[in-house]
Amino acid sequence: MGRWKTEKQFASWLSLSPDNKISGGKVLNTKTKPSASRAAAALRMAAFTLTNSKSALGAFYRRQRARLGAPKAITATAHKLARLIYSMLKHGTEYVDQGQEYYEQQYRKRVVKNLRKRAAELGFELVDNTSEPVTMIPEGA
């Protein structure tokens, strides 16, 4: 894995990163480059199989699919898988899936934090009226 300095370069080599074509300050295209890479095809296939998975990666794929549509969500999830694989091979670590519930909790905390920040910028204050307490993530975490 020493051939690539970062996981971003690895994902770009697999053609799973956006190719930002800019001319005169105007963004012309942000699609990924077409690729005949069998590794990229395998990662896309693996990403597609996460449709019904109860893992954190499956929850990520479903959220992206609802936002972007299936083709872009597959590429985004394959990109995430490529970064995970690079990290595992480079550092010799194992992948530990935290599960769908953990991913949903982290996502909810992130959304609430951003809502509170946006409300404060506009001069409002959010009041929690749910039965479960919302814990805030400390700044810098």
* Per-residue pLDDT reduced to its tens digit, 17-74: 888 888 898 988 888 878 788 999 999 999 999 999 888 999 999 999 999 999 999 9
User: Among 108, 84, 83, 107, which residue's Cα sits nearest to residue 96?
Assistant: 84
pTM of the predicted structure, to 2 decimals:
0.73
* Tens digits of residue pLDDT in 63-103: 999 999 999 999 999 999 999 999 999 988 888 888 888 88
Average of pLDDT values for 122-139?
71
SS3 12: helix
Residue with tokens 């969500």: 73
Question: For the residues of 21-83, what is the DSSP string, one character each?
Answer: EEETTEEEE-PBPP---HHHHHHHHHHHGGGG--SHHHHHHHHHHHHH-HHHHHHHHHHHHHH
Domain parsing of the chain, residue ranges: 7-91, 100-141
